[in-house]
Amino acid sequence: MMKNACVLIWTLAALSAAEVGSLLERRRQKMSVFSSSSSSSSFSSSSVRSGGICLNGGTTVKSLMTGKHMFCLCAGGFEGKRCETVKHAHCYEGVGLYYRGSVSKSESGHTCKDWDSDTREQYLSSDVNSGRHNYCRNLHYRRRPWCHVWKNQQLVWEYCDIPRCSFEPFPGPPAPTPTEPEPAAEMTCGQRTRRKQMKIVGGTVATVESHPWVAAIFWRSKSKEKVFRCGGSLISACWVLTAAHCFPDGSQDKEHRFSVTLGKNALNESDLIMEQTFRVEEVIVHEGFDNSEGNFNNDIALLRLKPKHGTCAEENNWVKFVCLPPPQQSLPPGATCEIAGYGKERYGLWYKSQYLREAQVNLLNDDVCRHTYYYDNMLTENMFCASRPDWSQDACEGDSGGPLVCEVDNRLFQFGVISWGDGCAKQSRPGVYTKVTNYNHWIQEKTGLTSITAGATFPYK
C-alpha cells in the first residue's frame, strides 16, 4: 500500500508542477543537508498540516484529484499510521538529533527543567505537545541529548542518562577462494565498517564509518581562517574526486591553500584518532567544465593529496576507498542510492550542518528529468537526476562534490558527484549529479587509476 502511495504521489507531483507553471527559478549551485519537506514548500500543492489527522507535527499528504487524505508524512522521531509512535524511545541514534523519548534526568541525576517558550517556538514546534515538556533533546548540535538543570543554584545544561542504540556490524563480503591475490584497493574498496543509520525524512546524522570515503575539503583564507569549501570522495590513497565548480579559478586555484580531511564526523570538532588531514599537491579541474548555460557541464575535478612521510591515506575503520564503476555502466531508473555531506539541512539556512549527514535518493529516468516541468534542456549527457518520490530528501548548499554511491554485490560504487539543482528538496526540481562513468578514461589519464570493479557483477548496461 505504501509503495503504491509513493508511486501515486510521484505522478501527482508532476501534475502539480503543471498547474503551478513551468517557470524555472534561476539555477543556484548545490554545494545539503537533506531538506525536510515539512519545513519547505516541497509539498505546498499536495499536502498541508494535518488538522488532527497526523499527530506530533506530521503532515497529511492529500490526493490532488479528490483532496482526501492519503497517508501521513511523519516528523523526525515518529512513526505509525498517524505518527503516534515515538521511535527508539529508550535510546538515541547518531547524536540524538531526532530523539523523541521521555527521559528527563541528567547524568548526575537532576530533574530536567521545562524548555522555555523561545526554545519551543524555534526548535520544538513539531515535538511532543509542541515542546511543552522537560524531556531530553539534542538542540544546537551537541554530542547527545541534554537538558537544563538547576545545579549549585545555577541553571546549567547537562547530558542526559540515555544509552545509544546498538547497531549490527555491516556484513563483510564472503571469504575469497584461494587464488592469486588482488591489488589491495580492489580487495577493500566500497566497504564500510558500520551499516548506515536509521533513515529519517529529510536525512539523518551519520557516522563516518557509514561513509568512510567522504572527504571534507577546506580552504585557507589570507587571514589564515580555515573555511569548509566542498565535499569529495577518496578513490585511492592520494586522490580525491570532487566537483569542478568548487574551484572558481579552475586548475589555477592555489593548491597550497587547500587541505583535505578524511574520517571527519563534525566540521567544528576534531578527532586525532579518526581523522587524517593532508595538504593538496595539485588541483585538476576538467578541461571542458562550462557554466555558461548555468548547468555546470563536465562538473568534475581531482585533488592530489600531498604525502606525509611518503604515504597518503591509510585505510582503517574511518577511512576507506570508494569503488569506481566500469565505463558507461548504468543502473536502472528507480534504483536506490545514497548521498552524504556536511551541507545545509534546509534551503535558505545561513549555517551548514556541523555533522555528516546522509539520505537516500532514487535514480530518475533521463526522459523524466528532461521534461518541460523538470529541467528541460538544461540536462546534458554528462548528468543524471536523483530524488525521492515525495521530494523529501535532497542535497543542498555545502554538499557539492560529495559522492552519490549505489550498492552492487555488497560494495558501494560512486556513480555520481553532487553538482547542482534548483533549490533543495523542491518539488519537480531533483538533484543533478555528474555522471562519473563518462569520465573513467579522464580519471585514468590524470591519475593512472583504472575502474575498480572488485569482482562485482553488474546486471545492467
More confident residue, 59 or 299: 299
Residues 342 and 250 in one domain: yes
Instruction: Identify the CATH number of the domain in which residue 116 sits.
Output: 2.40.20.10
3-class state of residue 47 by DSSP:
strand
Same domain, 368 and 227: yes
What value does the mean pLDDT take over residues 119-136?
88
Between 263-267, 326-330, 394-398, the lowest mean confidence (pLDDT) is in 394-398
Same domain flag for 236 and 332? yes
Of 166, 184, 212, the one marking the end of a domain is: 166
In the DSSP assignment, the letter for residue 246 is G
Catalytic: 428?
no
Which range marks the domain in which residue 270 is found?
Answer: 204-454
Q: Is residue 3 included in any domain, yes or no?
A: no
> What is the C-alpha to C-alpha distance for residues 421 and 28, in angstroms, rounded to an integer?
6
Burial of 438 (0-12, 13-18, 19+ CB in 10 A): middle
Whether 166 is catalytic? no
In this prediction, residue 340 carries a pLDDT of 86
In the chain, the percentage of residues whose pLDDT exceeds 90 is 30
- Collapsing DSSP states into helix, strand and coil, what is residue 215? strand
The 8 Å CB, 24+ separation contacts for 264-273 are: 264/208, 264/214, 264/216, 264/356, 265/207, 265/208, 265/355, 265/356, 266/141, 266/354, 266/355, 266/356, 267/216, 267/228, 267/342, 267/352, 267/353, 267/354, 267/355, 268/141, 268/354, 269/354
The rounded distance, in Å, linking the Cα atoms of 459 and 146 is 48
Asked whether residue 58 is assigned to any structural domain, the reply reads no
| Residue 309 CB contacts under 8 Å (≥ 6 apart), including other chains | none
Identify which of 22, 38, 28 has the alpha carbon closest to the alpha carbon of residue 345: 38
> Is 242 inside a domain boundary?
yes
- Over residues 257-276, mean pLDDT: 89
Residue that has been written with the C-alpha cell 573513467 in this structure: 440
- Please identify, among 166, 196, 218, the residue that sits at the C-terminal boundary of a domain: 166
Higher pLDDT, 294 or 259: 259
Q: What is the average per-residue pLDDT within 232-258?
A: 91
Residues 157, 232: one domain? no
Q: What span, in angstroms and rounded, lies between the C-alpha atoms of 43 and 13? A: 9
Question: Based on C-alpha coordinates, what's the Rg of the chain?
Answer: 22
> Active site includes 126?
no
E strands, 176-332, are: 204-205, 214-220, 226-236, 239-242, 258-262, 276-285, 301-305
Phi, psi angles (nearest 5°) of residue 122: -85, -35
Residue 32 in domain: no
Poorest-pLDDT segment among 91-105, 132-146, 392-406: 392-406
pLDDT at residue number 311? 93
Q: Tell me: do 403 and 300 sit in the same domain.
A: yes
Catalytic residue, chosen from 400, 419, 428, 451, is: 400
Answer yes or no: do 264 and 350 share one domain.
Answer: yes
Closest CA to 34 of 361, 364, 440, 415: 361
* Whether 162 and 259 share a structural domain: no
Give the CA distances from residue 324 to residues 256, 397, 416, 422, 454, in Å, rounded to whole numbers and listed in that order: 27, 25, 10, 27, 9
Residue 140 resides in a domain: yes
Among residues 127, 299, 394, 422, which one is catalytic?
299
Distances (CA, A) of 371 to 23, 332, 374, 388, 441: 13, 18, 5, 17, 30
26 is a domain residue: no
Residue where one domain finishes, among candidates 136, 166, 196: 166
- Report which secondary-structure segment, H or E, holds 17: helix 2-20
Query: Could you tell me if residue 67 is left (phi over 0), alpha (psi between -120 and 50 degrees) or otherwise beta?
Result: left
405 and 305 share a domain? yes
One-letter amino acid identity for 173?
Answer: P
Q: Is 217 found in the same domain as 147?
A: no
Q: How high is the pLDDT of residue 63? A: 61
| Residue 229 pLDDT > 50 | yes
In a domain, residue 218? The reply is yes
- Asked whether residue 184 is assigned to any structural domain, the reply reads no
Please indicate whether residue 300 or residue 193 has the higher confidence score (pLDDT).
300
Same domain for 296 and 162: no
Mean pLDDT of the chain: 75
207: confidence class by pLDDT, cuts 50, 70, 90: confident
Which one of the listed residues 148, 211, 245, 286 is annotated catalytic?
245
Position with higher pLDDT, 180 vs 406? 406
Q: What DSSP string describes 392-457?
A: -----TT-TT-EEEEEETTEEEEEEEEEEESSSSBTTB-EEEEEGGG-HHHHHHHH------TT--
Q: Which of 206, 265, 240 is nearest to 34 (CA)?
A: 206
Same domain, 226 and 349: yes
- Which pLDDT score is estimated for 175? 41
Q: What is the pLDDT of residue 458?
A: 54
Give the total number of structural domains in the chain.
Answer: 2
Q: CATH number, domain at 218? A: 2.40.10.10
Average pLDDT, integer, range 216-242? 90
Do 242 and 150 lie in one domain? The reply is no
Among the listed residues 197, 398, 349, 355, the one whose alpha carbon sits nearest the alpha carbon of residue 269: 355
Tens-digit pLDDT profile for residues 424-449: 545 557 889 999 999 999 999 999 87
For residue 16, pLDDT over 50 is answered with no
Grid look-up 553538482 returns 419
Tell me: pLDDT of 365 over 90.
no
pLDDT above 70: percentage of residues in the chain:
69
Which value, to the nearest 10 degrees, does the dihedral of the CA atoms of residues 88, 94, 97, 103 take?
40
Element housing 6 (H / E): helix 2-20
Give the pairing type, strands 214-220 and 383-387.
unpaired
Amino acid 193: pLDDT: 67
What tens digit of pLDDT does each residue of 137-181 get?
Answer: 988 767 789 999 998 889 999 999 999 886 433 333 344 444 343
Instruction: Mention every residue, 6+ apart, whose C-beta is less than 8 A from residue 121.
Output: none
